[in-house]
Amino acid sequence: KQEVTQIPAALSVPEGENLVLNCSFTDSAIYNLQWFRQDPGKGLTSLLLIQSSQREQTSGRLNASLDKSSGRSTLYIAASQPGDSATYLCAAPYNQGGKLIFGQGTELSVKP
């Protein structure tokens, strides 16, 4: 059974700092791993999806890595901005059909 864990639950950093969000999963036979952003009271926005054959994906200031052997993924945010403040969730599919198992999320606050 796939279980996804995110640490820390909350993180506060000053503007401009580089930061790393962590995600761990129990079943290394994952098909892919997806990172989402959720703003308060809003839906989920997909940030990055890493296929199982990939080790990382980049989009602008975001870089996500995947290490299947250790059961870990990280989301690196460079030069953080107050607009990055949100909850970040990682999710791994339970099966090839795509049933996603979500972590509890990391609530990020970037202080100006």
Partner 1 sequence: DAGVIQSPRHEVTEMGQEVTLRCKPISGHDYLFWYRQTMMRGLELLIYFNNNVPIDDSGMPEDRFSAKMPNASFSTLKIQPSEPRDSAVYFCASRPGQGNEQYFGPGTRLTVT
Residues of this chain that interact with partner 1 (CB under 8 A) are 31-32, 34, 36, 41-46, 49, 51, 89, 91, 93-94, 97-105
Q: How far is the CB of 80 from partner 1 (least distance, A)?
A: 24
Residue 79 CB, nearest distance to partner 1 (Å)?
Answer: 25
Of residues 76 and 102, the one with the C-beta less far from partner 1 = 102
* Shortest Å distance, C-beta 72 to partner 1: 19
Q: Is 84 left (phi over 0), alpha (psi -120 to 50) or beta?
A: alpha
Burial (CB count within 10 angstroms: exposed 0-12, middle 13-18, buried 19+), residue 74 = middle
Is 89 or 110 the residue whose CB approaches partner 1 more closely? 89
> 85: helix, coil or strand?
coil
Distance, in Å, from the CA atom of 62 to the CA atom of 75, rounded to the nearest integer, reads 7
